[in-house]
Structure 1
Amino acid sequence: MNKQFLSPVFAVVLAFGAGAPLANAATYSNGTATATFNVTLTLQANCTIAATPLNFGTSGVLTTALNQQTSVAVTCTNTTPYNVGLDAGTVAGSSIASRLMAGTATGNTGTTVGFQLYQDAGRATVWGNTQGTNTVAGTGTGSAQSITVYGQVPAQATPKPDTYQTTVTATVYF
């Protein structure tokens, strides 16, 4: 071999190391560094409400009271005080003291059946929509709380056959 040719090759081998292992980033470390960050969540007092229908079923003559019950579910943030109110319904002339369902058949919209909603199974306390007077109070737990609504169609003069209905709005105040 030519001596001039070996000198530059030899110089390269000496400069870079013959057979030296390549550097592995996973095995070489110059130290570590860390950083911290805050994780936050702000919860505000909040409530939701859901209601299930109240169905008095099918009846003939209204000579005795018809009693049924349903429920509203209130979900409020933990420790949040609330009140649940029920309005008079959507039938014209209906009030908290004298709730009405109206006939739904054509030509029968002025015919009504009286009913009432109560806070208790004995049906002694009418459930209304005035906070601190006739609403139901509670305190949120962070989970759904079921509240029973007791309904009654009292004995009354029976109007003509039809399906009678109204829409009552349940409101949670918090």
Structure 2
Amino acid sequence: MKSRTRHFVTTILAAALLPSMAGAANVYTTGIPKTAAFDVTMRIVADCTISATGIDFGQNQGLLTQAVSGTANIKVTCSNTTPYNIGLNQGTGAGSSGTTRYMAGTGANTGTVKFNLYQSSGGGLWGNTQGSDTVGGTGSGQAQNITVYGEIPVQDTPAPDAYKSTITATVYF
């Protein structure tokens, strides 16, 4: 019987000590509690990101006897209240300069296809000179979609080939 009593007392002591051994916080009731305050900080700076989709004027185009139109989408995300301008460069087509743009043949020919990029449907040409021919806005912290309106005007049709120009969209903020 003595062995059983000792086992019982040991079990009760172990149960009483178990919470402190398992990482439970001790409770103290003596003394006056002290506190410390600390700051949690960060700084948001003006920032923007930009991405764009291309314009495909068609892969089975014949004669350029009527205007061909298409659109692209620019997605810009700027920090809230950040003013921005989006510019489009002249592109990589031979003969391109400012808002005068050409797609160049990707084969052996040197032909070009003139095209225009507009700020709005029927609006002004879109270029890369801030305050003159760029598109502006103010960031909201959310993605904003901006449409680029493209058009190939009526012109002499060059030799059959695939034609291309790469436009760089830049967000200034």
Instruction: Please state which band the TM-score falls in when normalised by the shorter chain.
Output: 0.7 to 0.9
1:43-62 equivalences under 5 Å are 43-58=44-59, 59-62=61-64
Deviation at 1:102, TM superposition (A): 0.5
- 2:86·2:172 contact (CA, 8 Å) conserved in 1? yes
- Alignment partners' CA distance in 1, 2:96 and 2:65: 22
Structure 1 residue 26: Cα displacement = 2.9
2:138 is the counterpart of 1:136: no
1:63 aligns with 2:89: no
Counterpart in 2 of 1:111? 111
Q: Which runs of 5+ in 2 are unaligned?
A: 1-12
Asked if 1:120 corresponds to 2:128, the answer is no
Q: SS at the partner of 2:87?
A: strand
CA distance in 2, matches of 1:80, 1:28: 52
Highest CA radius of gyration, 1 or 2? 1
Unmatched tracts of structure 1, length 5 or more: 1-20
**CA shift for structure 1 position 60:** 0.6
Secondary structure of 2:159 counterpart: coil
Over 6 Å off, 4+ runs: 21-25
1:101 alignment counterpart: 103
Aligned pairs for 1:1-174 within 5 A: 26-31=26-31, 32-58=33-59, 59-105=61-107, 107-108=108-109, 110-122=110-122, 124-174=123-173
Amino acid at match of 1:56: F
Cα drift, residue 90 of structure 1: 1.1
Q: Could you say what the CA RMSD is over the residues aligned between the two structures, in angstroms? A: 1.8
What corresponds to 1:16 in structure 2? none
